Structure 1
C-alpha cells in the first residue's frame, strides 16, 4: 500500500484522507469531526443536523448558528441541507503552532427553546511546509590544530508541520574531513553536529564548503538546505565550552524586574585573550525575547527585563553564545529551556452567549432565560471557574457543557410585585486566593392577565331627589387593575337585571369608559322608592377578567303632591252641607275634614286652617285633626246659614295646599230625646271601650312583634353588613290603600333592603309615611311603625309630639341623608 500511496497525486491523497477522517464521535455529549487542514471553502465536514438528531427544517426554524471562540468564522452551516461546511481556509500551523493536537472548539446555539451543543473540529496536519534554516549560510572557524573527533553545533532547521510530517533527518554533502552526527533531545527535537573526522591542513585547503540538508517525514518528503563554510584557522584553536549543553529553568510569571533567571558558565582552554569570554544571545533570538530578558556579557546572568505573562507565552527556547577574544574569535553555544509557571492573576470573565429573553410571569419553573459561559485564561485550578447567583432571586443556574450555564426560572414570577429583575451573576475561580467578578443581567417580566379589576367600593349607596331631570349623574364607580396595557383597560357595564318588573336598563345607564352612572328618566318617589343593580368592570385581557359592585339607589321624596280631601268626599260635590241644632253648645263637633298627602315625611304632615267664615267667632278648626267645632254656644241672633272655607296645607317646601267649602245649616228644634241620646251615648261608650280594649291589645301585640322583628333584622343586617357594608331598613308605601281594612303588618325581606310596615284604618283614616295617628272620630285607630334607624331619639320624639299635638295625634319622621355616593 505504501508504494501505491506514494504514486498517488497530492490533491487526490488529501481528498481521500478527508473522506476517511471526516468521522464524528460523541464524548461527554460532544460531537467531534476530524478534517485535514487547507480544505477548500465549501467542503463538507459532516451533516450537523443528523448528528444532533435534528430535522433539516428544524435547524432553519430554530435559527441554528455557530459561536466560535476564535476571532475567525472558519465554518458555517448550510441550513438547507444541514451540512457543516468550511467557510475559509484553515491553516493548522497558524491555529495550533507546534502542538501535536489541534482542536478547534465550536458552540452551536439553537433557539426556541434555547440549547447549546459543543462541537470539536480536529484539524489534522498535512505536509504543506518545508524544513527551513533561519540562516542559509553559516560560517565556522576551525583551527587547523583541531584534533579529529571535535564537534561543532550546527543550526537546527524548523518545520511547522507536526507528527510524521515534521523534521525527521539531516544529510551532509560528501567531503573528506567532516561527518554529520544527529542527536535527539528529550522533547524529540534533533540537533545536528558537525564532527571532524580527519585533521585539517590550512596549507592544503583553507576553506571547505558543505551542504546541510533537512528532510521531513512527509510523503512525498520535503527538504530545506543550508550552506556551511568552514574556514581553517591556525590560531586560537580552543572554543569556549559550557558546563551544560541545555539549561532547564522554571520562572513564575509576573516575577519582579531584574531577577536572575539563570547563570550560564563557559570555559576556554586557551590563555590570554583567547580565553576571555563574552556572553550574548544566539544569532536567531527573536525581538520578543530581547524585550523580556537580558544577558550580562561578563557574568552570563540572564535577567528579567520586562513583565513576563504566562498567558502570552508559557515556554521559551533560546541560545546563549560564549565568544572568546582570540583572533579569530572562537565561540561555544548552549540552549536554555525556560518554562513559565502560571499564577492566579486573571479575573474570570462572564460571557453572555445570548441576550436575556423577557419571560412571562406565568412561565413554568425551569424556563430558559439566557445562556451564559465562564472563561479564565489561567490554567489548572486558577482557570477553573464556578458561577453563582446573588441570593433572593427567583432564578437558578443550570450547568451545561464546559463552563456553560443556562439561566432558568427557579420560582413563580409576579410582574405586579417585580416587573424587572437585575440578576447579579458571580464568577469565582479556584485559585489561592480566588479571584471573582460580577455581571448584572436585566430580565424583564411580561404581563399576563391574572388580576381582575377591583372596585374602590363593593357597595355604592346613592340618594337622588325625585323629579330630577333625566340624564343627571347618579354617581361614579371606579375600578382599578394592577395589570398592564390591554390587560388593565377597563370597561364598565350594567348587568341586565330587573328593578321589580322593569329592566334596570330603563332606570340607569353607565358610561363604559369612566364609570359614570346616569339616570334614564325622572323618578317618582310615589311609584318607586328604592332599586339596586350590579355594575360590572371588565378588562380587555385574553381571557378577560371581571368583578361586580352593587349600587343601591334611594329616591328622596319631594313635596310634589297636593293634599287630597277624603272627607267630605268630592263625589258629593264641591261644597259639603252639614246641619247642626241651634241648641249646640261650646265645643260641639260639627264635622271633621279628613285629607291625605301622597308624599311622605314632613311633606305629608297636614294641617287645617279656617281661611274664611260667615262668622269667624262661631267656629274653629283643629289644626291637626280637621275637626270643626263651635267656639261658643249658638245664639238666636246667629244666621241659620253659615259657610266655612277650610284650607288644608302640607308641611313641605314649597307648601302645597287645597281648600274645601262647608255649608252649615243651623236649625231650630233639631235635637234628640234625652233618653235616646243617653242610650246612644251609652252604646257608643261601650263600643268605644271595646274598641279601645282591642286597640290596646293590638298595639301591644304589634309592639312586641315589631321589637322582635326589629332585633331579627338588626342581627341579619349586622351579618349582611360584613359582606355588603350596608344595611337599610325602610318602608314602602303607595299612599292610601285598601279602605275598610283593619290592622295589617307587612314584613319585606326581599333583596338587600328590608323593612316592616304596620298599616290600619278605614276610609276616613290616613296612612302617612313615618307617622302614626290616633283619631277620636275614626271608628278604628291607625298605626304605622317605621324604621328605628332615625337620627332622632324615638322616645324623645314621642314625648315631644304627644305634648305638641292635640287629640292624641303624633307622628315620627326619620332624617334623610344627603344625595351622594357613599
Structure 2
C-alpha cells in the first residue's frame, strides 16, 4: 500500500516550482497559476506591480477584488500589493473533475475608475488516493469455470485529474488469476480477473488476493481492496450487457419518472440462473442514487430527483446485472447521461461599484457604475444583452465579457433633474427569453453655476418723509436655483453717495433677508429721491452675485406752513398800501404772495380775509391772493383800513400763516409821501443807481445761468422752469411778482439739485449757486424798490 502526505513545506516547494507568474496581459487581463491546498498567506503574485499600480495609493483608490465564488479564496495586502491565499483551495470541491479549473476575479480601482480581469488557474496536486467502493470484494465462481473466463471488477475512483488520476491496477501474486486492464471510450480504466488455471473446490474453497489501484502522481498514491473468491458449483454463465457503455440525453428539470434509458443484459443459463436483475453498482455516488432509479426487473433507469444542468452537465451511472442463481456473478456497465440545458435561470445583475452622487459638470464619459451580469445557463440561454432607457443622459458600455460600465453621455443639470432612477434590463437570448431588472439610483450633486436672481428687474419704493429712523422701508428678494451653500444668499448695499454722503449713512440692509432700513429721517424738501444698488451673493466657491437698483422716492408730508413773501413789512412794522379814494369797485389794491415748501395738495394755498376794519369794503381772491375793492369808497369810509389775511394750505391737517396790511385811503396820490410818516415808502433811487443795479442784476443773472449749465453738465436733472410748489402772482405793475417768481424758481432749482442724485457731487458749484442767489435777491429787491 503506497501513500504520500501533502505538507505546507511540500506546498511551498510546489508553489515555487510552478512559479505563480503573470502569463498574459491583454485587454487589462492577467493570469496566475497556483497549486491547490496552499496554506493561508501563500504568495500568488504581486498584483500591484503586475498591473503597474502605485502601492501607496491602493487604499485611497479603494483597491478591491470581486469574485463570484461563495468563498473569498484570495485577498490582496493593500500595504504591498501582494495577492495571497486567504482560504485553502480544494480543487476537487471547486471544479470537481473538470480538466481545467479557474478562479475569475474582477479588480476594481476608483479615482479614476479602472477595471482589470484576473484569472487564477488552480493546478491539481496529487492529494487524493484511488479508492474502491468497498474495501473487500466477494466473488463466487463455479469450479466449472473454464480458463480464460473473465470477471469484471468494480473500478477505483480518483478525484484528481490529469496525470494525478488513476493510472493502473496491480494484483497480488496467486496461482489461478491474472489481471487484465481495460480502457473505456472515455479514457477511464477498469480491471478484469482472468482465470488462468481451473479451480478445484475440493482442494481450496476460497482464494484471497489484494487489488491495488495506483495513480500517476509524483509521488504516486494508491488504494487497495481485498478480493475474496468463493468456489461454487453450477451456474457457469454470467449475464452480458448488450453495450459496454450506455449513453443518453436528458433535459434538465425533467419531471420525476421520466425514462432515461433501458438496460439490457442476457444470460444463457436457464431458470433462476438465467433471470437477470439490475441495480446500481456499489460505486455509484449517493447523489446519483438520489437523482435516478433502476428497476431491478426491467432495467429501466428513470428520473427520481430534480436534475439541474447548472450543477452537473454529465452524470456517470455505474450499473450491474447478475442472475438469480446460487453462484451469481455481477457484471458491470457504465451509463453516461448528458444533461441538456433549458433556459430556466434568469440573468443575475450585480452592481460591483457605484459612484454617486455625480457632479452636474462631470464630462461625458464619466463612469457611474460597474455592473456584472451572469447567467448560469449555457449557449444562447446564457448569452445576455443589457439595455437602459434611451431617454436618460447615460450610456451602457461593455468592457469585458459579462461586465458593463454605466457612463454619462452628456452634461447633467441638477436644476433640471436632481436624480435619476435608471432601470437596467438584462435579457438572455433563450426561448422563451428570461430577464432581470435592476434600478440604479444616480444622484446629481450641485455646483455653483447659477447666480442669484432678483424677483424684479428693479424696485420702486415710496417713503413718507419724517419717517422714524431704523424703520424698514422695503425688502428685496432674490432666489438661487442651486442648492445648499450654493443657494445661501447674503445681501449688501454697494458703495455710493447721496448728496455727497456715503449711502451707508442713509440706509442699511439685513444681509440674511434683504430688509432695507432707513438710518435717518428723510426730508422731502431736502431730498426728493435717491437710488441705491443692492447686491445678492451666494456662498458658493467661487461666489456668484447679481445687482438690482432700488429707486427710493420720498413722499411729502404737510410739515411746512405757508410763508408770506409779499408784501413785506417796512422796518419791522406792518405792510402798507395807498388806495386812492376815487377808485371804482374791483380795483386791485394789493396782491398777497405766499410760498409753501411742501408739494402737491400740501402746497396748494388759499386766501381769505380773517379781520377787516370794514368787512364790506375789501375782498381777497381765494386762490390768487389779490385784494380788490368791493365798492367805491365814500367820504365816510375811514382813511385807514386794516386787513388781516389768512393764507392756508390744503394739507391734512392744514397749516396757515397771516399777514396784516394797513391801507391808507387818500384823495389824490401825492408826489411825495413823506407826510405819511411810517406809512410812506422810500423814494426810488436815482436813475443812475437804478441803471447800475440793472446792469449788475443782468451780470449776476448771466453768471447764475452759466452755473446752472455747469450743474446740468455735471449730471443734475433740473426741474421745470415753473416750480410746482408756488403760484404765479401779479402785483400792481408786475415787477415785484416777477422778481419773487425768479427768486422762487432759483430756490427751487437749488433745492432740487441738492436732492437729486449726481454722477459726480460738486458741493463747490452748489455753494457758488447759493451765493449768487443771495446776491441776486439782494440786488433784485433794491431794483424793485
TM-score band by shorter chain is: 0.7 to 0.9
- 2:260 aligned with 1:297, yes or no? no
1:591-633 CA-to-partner distances (Å, cap 9, x unmatched) read: 2221111112222222221211122222222222222222222
- What is the rounded CA distance, in whole Å, between the counterparts of 2:467 and 2:435 in structure 1? 76
Structure 1 counterpart of 2:170: 171
Structure 1 match to 2:105 = 106
Please report the TM-score for the alignment, with normalisation by the length of structure 1: 0.81
Q: Does the CA-based 8 Å contact 1:389-1:425 persist in structure 2?
A: yes
| CA distance 1:100–1:49, change in 2 (3 Å) | same
Cα 1:440/1:291, change in 2 over 3 Å: same
1:197-236 matches, within 5 Å, as 197-236=196-235
| 2:450 aligned residue | 451
Per-residue deviation at 1:244? 0.9
Correspondence for 1:581: 580
1:42–1:441 distance in 2 versus 1, CA, 3 Å = same
Distance 2:703 2:634 in 1: 39
From the superposition, tell whether residues 231 and 773 of structure 1 become closer, same or farther in structure 2 (CA, over 3 Å).
farther
Find the aligned partners of 2:530 and 2:232 in 1 and give their Cα distance. 132
Aligned residues: 708
SS at match of 1:757: coil
| 8 Å Cα contact 2:461-2:474 kept in structure 1 | yes
The secondary structure found in structure 1 opposite 2:13 is helix
Cα gap change, 1:300 to 1:775, in 2 (>3 Å): farther
Whole-angstrom distance in 2 between the partners of 1:739 and 1:557: 33
Q: Identify which of 707, 721, 728 aligns with 1:758.
A: 721
8 A Cα contact 2:153 2:191, kept in partner: yes
Corresponding residue SS for 1:462? strand
Contact 1:576 1:662 in 2 (8 A): yes
> 1:344 matched to which residue of 2?
343
Quick check: 1:21 aligned with 2:10? no
- 2:132 and 2:283 in contact (8 A); partners too: no
1:522 and 1:400 mapped to 2: Cα distance?
74
- In the TM superposition, 1:565-604 aligns within 5 A as 565-570=564-569, 572-604=571-603
> 2:634: which partner in 1?
635
- Tell me by how many angstroms 1:281 deviates: 1.7
Equivalent residue, structure 2, for 1:712: none
Q: Is it true that 1:83 corresponds to 2:82 in the alignment?
A: yes
Query: For residue 725 of structure 2, what is the aligned residue in structure 1?
Result: 769
Query: Are the equivalent residues in 1 in contact too, given 2:590–2:732 (CA < 8 A)?
Result: no
Instruction: Work out whether residues 34 and 123 of structure 2, in 8 Å CA contact, stay in contact via their aligned partners in 1.
Output: yes
Q: Secondary structure at the match of 1:26?
A: coil
1:77-125 Cα distance to aligned partner (Å, 9 max, x none):
2222221122232222222222221212222222222222211111222
Match of residue 660 from structure 1: 659
**8 Å Cα contact 2:134/2:282 also seen in 1:** no
Match of 1:94, SS state, is: helix
* Two-structure CA RMSD over aligned residues (Å): 2.9
- Preserved CA contact (<8 Å) 1:601 1:771: no
Q: Distance in 1 between matches of 2:499 and 2:402?
A: 74
Distance, in Å, in 2 between the alignment partners of 1:463 and 1:772 is: 30
- Give the direction of change, closer, same or farther, for the CA distance of 1:216–1:560 in structure 2 (3 Å limit): same
- Alignment partner, residue 60 of structure 2: 61
Q: TM-score, normalised by structure 2?
A: 0.85
Alignment of 1:116-515 (within 5 A): 116-515=115-514
Pair 1:437–1:316, CA change in 2 (3 A): same
- Aligned mates of 2:633, 2:14 — CA distance in 1: 151
Whether the 8 Å contact between 1:581 and 1:671 is mirrored in structure 2 is: no
Mark the CA change 1:287 to 1:85 in structure 2 (over 3 Å): closer, same or farther: closer
Partner of 1:42: 41
Q: Cα distance 1:348–1:505, how it changes in 2: closer, same or farther (>3 A)?
A: same
1:778 lines up with 2:734 in the alignment: yes
- The SS at the match of 1:390 is coil
Partner of 2:542: 543
Q: Structure 1 residues 606 and 666 mapped into 2: Cα distance closer, same or farther (>3 Å)?
A: same
For the 8 Å contact 1:506–1:520, the answer to whether it is kept is yes
What do residues 480-523 of structure 1 show as CA deviations (whole Å, max 9, x unaligned)? 12222111111111111223423222222111111111111111
- Structure 2 CA distance for aligned equivalents of residues 319 and 241 of structure 1: 15
Determine if contact 2:567/2:592 at 8 Å carries over to the other structure.
Answer: yes
Alpha-carbon contact 2:590-2:731 (below 8 Å) kept: no
Quick one: structure 1 residues 84 and 525, their matched pair in 2 at CA, closer, same or farther if it must change by over 3 Å? Answer: same
* CA displacement, residues 205-260 of structure 1 (integer Å, 9 cap, x when unaligned): 22111111111112222211111111111121111111111101111112233221
Sort the Cα spacing of 1:151 and 1:750 in 2 relative to 1 into closer, same or farther, 3 A: farther
